[in-house]
Amino acid sequence: MTEPTVLYEARGAVALVTLNRPQSLNSFTRAMHQELWAALDRIEADKAIRACVITGAGRGFCAGADLAEFDFAPGPDLVKRADPGPIIEQAFNPTTRRLQSLRVPTVAAVNGVAAGAGASIAMACDLAIAAPGASFIQAFIKLGLVPDAGGTWFLVKKLGVARAMGAAMLGDKISAQQAKDWGMIWDVAPAGKDCVEAALELAQRLAVLPTQGLLATRKLVRAAASHDLDAQLNLERDTQSALGRTHDYIEGVQAFLEKRAPVFKGE
């Protein structure tokens, strides 16, 4: 039997999703996108799951698209056959959208190189922790292309225009520590500690927090860049009002007043 290209494991309230094509640095095929979506479907369906970690098998996180899936054979319609647009529209864009809208917070454990759309996948997660030796490469320009899977959007939001432009136009390797310093990722795992274990620990922290509050925070933080202050104030008001009707809000306040640890249900 062919080994799955995406592995799924439930560790308590945390789902560990592993991209599993180590021989190809976990570069994406169309089938691999489908398997990732199936794993995300499991998370959506299992209410016991309260956070998700995504990592890569072997020495890399993800090298983007598997170029072997593109048809560059000489002959008629070469330009049409080699067009990257369809796989972006049919595979990478849906993957980015699904990660951004997943019903639980997501943590990328960047265990090695994240190149091309692999870097976009890492940035699409809510938080990212990288191994000290990991790196991020906007490899697109070396192929005459542009960052995709949300790459240009994430780079500007996380790095600012000047650094986003340099990263995208030069395609230089960005180290894990530099990625942290620039705001591309949340943290670098301590030396000697496996980044997947560090990411799982972070996900376990998220898994016992109020899930609805976390998702609302995600939405508000993303919206802030496109809102003026007045619009953001209104959105915060409406969001607080909606969260005020959740179990976890009532539990959090009661626990505070009773001087005990809250027990959140993610509801």
Report if residue 265 sits inside a domain: no
Residue 225 located in a structural domain: yes
pLDDT at 60: 96
Answer yes or no: do 201 and 129 share one domain.
yes
195 and 115 in one domain? yes
Number of domains the chain is built from? 2
Domain holding 236, by residue range, is: 211-258
Query: Same structural domain for residues 130 and 243?
Result: no
- The verdict on residue 69 lying in a domain is yes
| pLDDT one-digit tens code per residue, 123-164 | 999 999 999 999 999 999 999 999 999 999 999 999 999 999
- pLDDT of 220 above 70: yes
The tens digit of pLDDT for each residue in 32-84 reads 999 999 999 999 999 999 999 999 999 999 999 998 888 778 888 888 888 88
Return d(Cα 266, Cα 101) in angstroms, integer: 16
pLDDT at 136: 98
> If pLDDT is split at 50, 70 and 90, which confidence band does 260 have?
very high
Identify whether residues 46 and 70 lie together within a single domain.
yes
Residues 164, 217, single domain; the answer is no
Q: What is the CATH number of the domain that holds 16?
A: 3.90.226.10
Residue 1 in domain: no
